Every structure is written in C-alpha cells, then in structure tokens.
C-alpha cells in the first residue's frame, strides 16, 4: 500500500471562513495506475474545494507539520474506489 501526500498551493477557507492549508492523504495499492489515482484525486478535490486549486506533492513530514499546528483541523474523506482512500484535512494557518 502506497501513501501519497498532497498540499494545496493556495489557502482554502473552512466553514468559519478562516484560511487553511489543505492536506490530502491518498492510500492506494502499489499495483494501481498512479496516473489514474493522481487525476481522480485532483478532480475530486477540485470538485469539493474549488476548480482553481493546484496540488503539489509533499512528504509525510511536511504534511504532518501543518497538522501539528492545528490539532482541531477539519477532516473528511472521499471515496474514489474500494481500494483507494482519500482523507483531507483543513489545518488553520496561524
């Protein structure tokens, strides 16, 4: 199982209209088509948070750095398929 982290290039606002960092964690089997996963995740995230989003790859340390600054980050999940899980977090930028 491979885990990929993506971060939004621009801040995303939460329900309280606060600027947040969007952190996306994608878990998929090693043998799945990576290009399909990347495109499907980007499409689903853009539908949820806005078409103008640009996502870039991050490592686990970068992703968790943002989450550590906001332990009450908003969290959600998207279903792409039975084998691909997508968890998103909105961590407030302080």
pTM (two decimals): 0.89
Return mean pLDDT, the chain.
91
For 67: left if phi > 0, alpha if psi spans -120 to 50, otherwise beta; the answer is: alpha
- Provide mean pLDDT across the span 6-28: 94
pLDDT number for residue 25: 96
* 93 DSSP 8-state letter: P
**CB neighbour list of residue 10: distance below 8 Å, 6 or more residues apart:** 52, 53, 54
Exposure of 40 in the CB half-sphere (CA atoms within 13 A):
17
């Amino acid at each position: 199982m491979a885990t990929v982290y993506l971060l939004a290039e621009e801040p995303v606002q939460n329900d309280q209209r606060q600027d947040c960092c969007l952190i996306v964690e994608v878990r998929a089997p090693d043998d799945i088509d990576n290009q399909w996963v990347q495109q499907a995740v980007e499409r689903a995230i853009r539908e949820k948070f806005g078409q103008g989003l640009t996502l870039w790859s991050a490592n686990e340390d970068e992703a968790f750095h943002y989450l550590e600054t906001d332990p009450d980050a908003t969290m959600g999940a998207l279903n792409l398929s039975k084998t691909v899980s997508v968890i998103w977090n909105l961590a407030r930028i302080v």
